[in-house]
Amino acid sequence: MSLLPTSLADRVDRFLAAPEGTTSADAVDVLVADLVTFVDGKSTDTFHALMAELREVGAYPLTLRILASAWSGTLSDTMAGEVLEDWIGTLLHGLGDREAAIDIIDFVTPDALSRGAAFASDLGDLFLSWGLRAQASPLIKFALSKNPGDVSARYNLGIIHKFAGEYDESAAAFREVLVHQPEEKGALWSLGIALTAVRDFAGARTAWQRLGIVVPESDGDYARPGERLPIRVSAHADAPVQAEVVWGDRLCPARARVTGIPRYGGLAAFGDVVLVDGASIGEVPGPHEGDRVAIVECLSLFSEAKGRLYRLRGGPGDSPSPADAERLAVALRGLGYASINWSGVGPDSAAVGVVLAAGEPLTELAAAVSELTTDTRLFCPELEAEAGLPVRRAPATLSAF
């Protein structure tokens, strides 16, 4: 505690050394009040440095109370912004408590709006950078209602509309940005995405060309098979994960065809064409040793393949092996079906996914699966029932996805 007076630093150390819950509430209140008094009137640099020191020693109960107390006081806009960034950032990134961070945002937003358009715009920009789009939206819209010429807020509004799937509104926002900043690459890219989404291929082509991207000549859609890329696809609401990464083939700067098989796919499935964002949100190993390939976000479904995914899994007494699952997946691929070994992914020790493409005969897949699973103890009662075959295991006896 190099910034604190020795006596105050000693009190912080004693608080941290005491077993949790043994320090009285009154004593904590007094300690927090004395820490707030210490930082009152100090520079923002000193304030941030003290918060950093307290976090380094795990004093989150104190930092959160200090930040809450500081917010309730009389703060300049500059200091208020610093306090909010530290307060919400601590919850979101330090403690990983997204729900608590959102609760605090909901609590402070009315006061933030009362500080005016510039403050709201800056705070909305911060929340947007943290992926808190729903919380950024009212701040950014308020800023634009008071200051329609705020180009940064207009850009952020376009981003919010893009991720909400409101592509006409997104295109309008980015066109307005480009009136003021004609070479803004992010606005051009997002405009290209929005125009692709609404099938304005001529307009999208112009946006890509302004970015120096060559697209095939065509009177209409210019989609062509291209590079492989990893895509982050949102999972369905009941899935144990929020999203998963699968491979796809790029068709144009804004679209890709999903070639992997999402296990928990809610937004997209194998064979679907999806709209993808341009920004990297991470990396995965590439096809060659040492390569890293950027992951992009799946924004929405562009066109549906209308295939059907079947999941083969075992029950508690079946104990199928990963080797069984791999042999089954390979055999199904050999018959022309898209298939994947999901062993070790999720709750199952062994599981396989297989896709029946639109128009393919259900009975042929069911017969192939029945023959190939004679000795594997992997079952798909849904496929058997649909094909009119004897159901060898009730769905309730098998592991859930």
Element at 50 (helix H, strand E) = helix 44-56
For helices 98-114 and 117-129, angle between their N-to-C axes, nearest 10 degrees: 160
CA 351 to chain CA mean position, Å: 26
Which amino acid does the sequence have at 360?
Answer: E
Name 399's bridge partners: none
Q: What is the per-residue pLDDT for 202?
A: 94
Nearest partner of 126 among 99, 152, 103, judged by Cα: 152
Which amino acid does the sequence have at 281?
Answer: I
CA 155 to chain CA mean position, Å: 20
For 150-189, give one letter per residue: b (16+ CB within 10 A) or e: beebbbbbbbbbbbeebbebbbbbbbbbbeeeeebeebbb
Q: How buried is 94 (Cβ within 10 angstroms: 0-12 exposed, 13-18 middle, 19+ buried)?
A: middle
Which amino acid does the sequence have at 229?
Answer: L
The DSSP line for 92-134 is: IIIS--HHHHHHHHHHHHHHHHHT-HHHHHHHHHHHHHTT-HH
**Cα–Cα distances in angstroms (integers) from residue 13 to residues 34, 54, 64, in the given order:** 14, 10, 17
Please report the domains of the chain, with CATH numbers, ordered by start residue.
Answer: 6-210 (1.25.40.10), 228-303 (no CATH), 308-397 (3.30.70)
Q: In the numeric block, which tokens belong to residue 258?
A: 């999903």
> Which residue, chain included where needed, has tokens 């961070």?
101
Going residue by residue through the chain, which has 401 residues, state the pLDDT in tens, using 9 for 90 and above.
578 989 999 999 999 998 888 888 888 889 988 988 888 778 888 888 888 888 888 888 888 888 888 888 777 888 889 889 999 999 999 889 999 999 999 999 999 999 999 999 999 999 999 999 999 999 999 999 999 999 999 999 999 999 999 999 999 999 999 999 999 999 999 999 999 999 999 999 999 999 999 998 877 888 888 899 999 999 988 888 889 999 999 999 999 999 999 998 888 999 999 999 999 999 999 877 888 999 999 999 999 999 999 999 887 777 788 999 999 999 999 999 999 999 877 666 789 999 999 999 999 999 999 999 988 889 899 999 999 998 888 776 666 65
Cβ atoms of residues 295 and 231 within 8 Å: yes
294: Cβ contacts below 8 Å, ≥ 6 apart: 229, 230, 280, 282, 283
CA angle 88, 95, 59 (to 5 degrees): 90
The DSSP line for 176-240 is: HHHHH-TT-HHHHHHHHHHHHHTT-HHHHHHHHHHTT------SS-------EEEEEEEBPTTSS
Q: What is the per-residue pLDDT for 284?
A: 92
Q: In the numeric block, which tokens belong to residue 167?
A: 């592509």
CA angle 274, 242, 64 (to 5 degrees): 130
Return d(Cα 264, Cα 260) in angstroms, integer: 12
Which amino acid does the sequence have at 318?
Answer: D
